Structure 1
Amino acid sequence: MALMLHLLRHALHDHPPDMLCGRMAGVRLAAEGERQAACLGRRFPLGSLDALLTSPVRRCRDTAAALERACGLPAIVDPAADEVDFGDWAGQRFPALQADPRWTAWNLDRDHAAAPGGETTHALRARVIALLDGILGLHPQGHVAVMTHAEIVRTSVLHILGLPMQAYDRLEVSPASITTLSLWMGGGRLLGLNDVSHIMAPVPMREMESA
């Protein structure tokens, strides 16, 4: 008996790609993000999920709305699925962050780092473990989806695989991707990572014939 947990990253947002949005208010989906969300929704038709959770951040709630329409379930806001609290870094551009030694430390020593005025990686991992344990306690079997953020997905996978936080950059988590875990009391297994097949543009038949 196991739970199939689908960890979903929100679709593409409308702010610059080199901006660390964090928990900023007013970050909406881009037009491409709306398309990605619709494609993601089609992966979870009516009856496919037993529960749908979402981060409170708007870009997650907007992406989750496409799943609500598809699977017929309301998305329940869970603060444990929230984005990392990046504190003073929220809203800054990555080129500017490269000059901050604290940003360098964050990326070189994730197991002990902390965002200035924000969350430590130790607190992040504890929050994610509590999220997984809480979902498993309520749903020991079936299928549950969580609309969340790249770092939450990475941290979940690292926890299940028994890897340190420093291994975060070995995992790609794309917008509107699906990562699936099988969870049971006392253990878990990674079943799928960064599945984006649903948002890939179809290859024209003429190109397929000439390949």
Structure 2
Amino acid sequence: MTTTFFLLRHAAHDDVGSYLAGRTPNVFLGSAGRAQALRLAERMRRERFAAIISSPRERTQQTAQAVSVTCEVGPVELCNDLDEIDFGSWSGRTFNELSRDPAWRRWNEQRPIAVTPGGESMGAVQKRACACMRALSLRYAGENVVLVSHADVIKCAICNALGLPLDGVFRFDIDPASVSVMALSGDHAKLVRLNETIS
């Protein structure tokens, strides 16, 4: 049986694009992000789904909770396999700082093999995200499930579905508060929708 996953990226926090939030604690949605999460939640009212599963980061939990309350589906379940990439010592640094770090440039030029300092590789991220989705596809066979996660985590799952190498993450965008849809049946994955954004 086919399980359909709605892959939601969390709404934007106030400083998105200025620094690497990663797994830095206490990164919450600001007023603009909370409004964005509510618009995403209204968009999801058009769908039927059995569960909402979220990364443990605060910004993903806030986004997931908005969907849960608006759509009256819950409670939100937390899953570490949907967590942001472990960027190690890079978490919390500005992109301006990182741009001067040769290891950061190597990470972006050699994503399939590079590893973050004290963190994890993209391959490890893809492995845990896809294993999570396979397990959930058995648990929710024939149903729809909302997963609230992070841009690169979602990109890893999509690259796997499309048979793209991990440097394929640079070939498409996953915007804040966007919806992508994937259908999973056994080992067969199909991308149904990519990066639908809300106005």
Contact 1:14–1:29 (CA under 8 A) maintained in structure 2: yes
Contact 1:7–1:153 (CA under 8 A) maintained in structure 2: yes
Q: Is 1:81 paired with 2:82?
A: yes
Contact 1:49–1:71 (CA under 8 A) maintained in structure 2: no
Contact 2:50–2:145 (CA under 8 A) maintained in structure 1: yes
Contact 1:5–1:181 (CA under 8 A) maintained in structure 2: yes
| TM-score for the superposition, normalised by structure 2 | 0.95
CA separation in 1, counterparts of 2:178 and 2:46? 20
Contact 2:182–2:191 (CA under 8 A) maintained in structure 1: yes
Q: Deviations along 1:104-136, whole A, 9 cap, x unmatched?
A: 111111110100011122211211121111111
CA separation in 1, counterparts of 2:196 and 2:19? 24
CA separation in 2, counterparts of 1:16 and 1:63? 15
Q: Specify the alignment match of 1:67 in structure 2.
A: 67
The secondary structure found in structure 1 opposite 2:161 is helix
Q: Deviations along 1:144-192, whole A, 9 cap, x unmatched?
A: 0001000111001000001110111111010000000011012011010
Contact 2:111–2:166 (CA under 8 A) maintained in structure 1: yes
Q: Specify the alignment match of 2:45 in structure 1.
A: 45
**Do the aligned partners of residues 127 and 14 (structure 1) sit closer, same or farther apart at CA in structure 2, a change above 3 Å counting?**
same
Contact 1:20–1:93 (CA under 8 A) maintained in structure 2: yes
Q: Specify the alignment match of 1:164 in structure 2.
A: 165
Q: Specify the alignment match of 1:154 in structure 2.
A: 155
The secondary structure found in structure 2 opposite 1:42 is helix
CA separation in 1, counterparts of 2:47 and 2:122? 36
- Code of the aligned partner of 1:100: D
Gaps of 5+ in 2: none
Q: Is 1:4 paired with 2:16?
A: no
Q: Specify the alignment match of 2:28 in structure 1.
A: 28
- Code of the aligned partner of 2:20: L
Runs of 4+ off more than 6 Å: none
Calculate percent identity across the aligned residue pairs. 33
**Do the aligned partners of residues 148 and 16 (structure 1) sit closer, same or farther apart at CA in structure 2, a change above 3 Å counting?**
closer
Q: Specify the alignment match of 1:111 in structure 2.
A: 112
**Do the aligned partners of residues 193 and 16 (structure 1) sit closer, same or farther apart at CA in structure 2, a change above 3 Å counting?**
closer
Gaps of 5+ in 1: 201-211
Contact 1:46–1:71 (CA under 8 A) maintained in structure 2: no
| TM-score for the superposition, normalised by structure 1 | 0.90
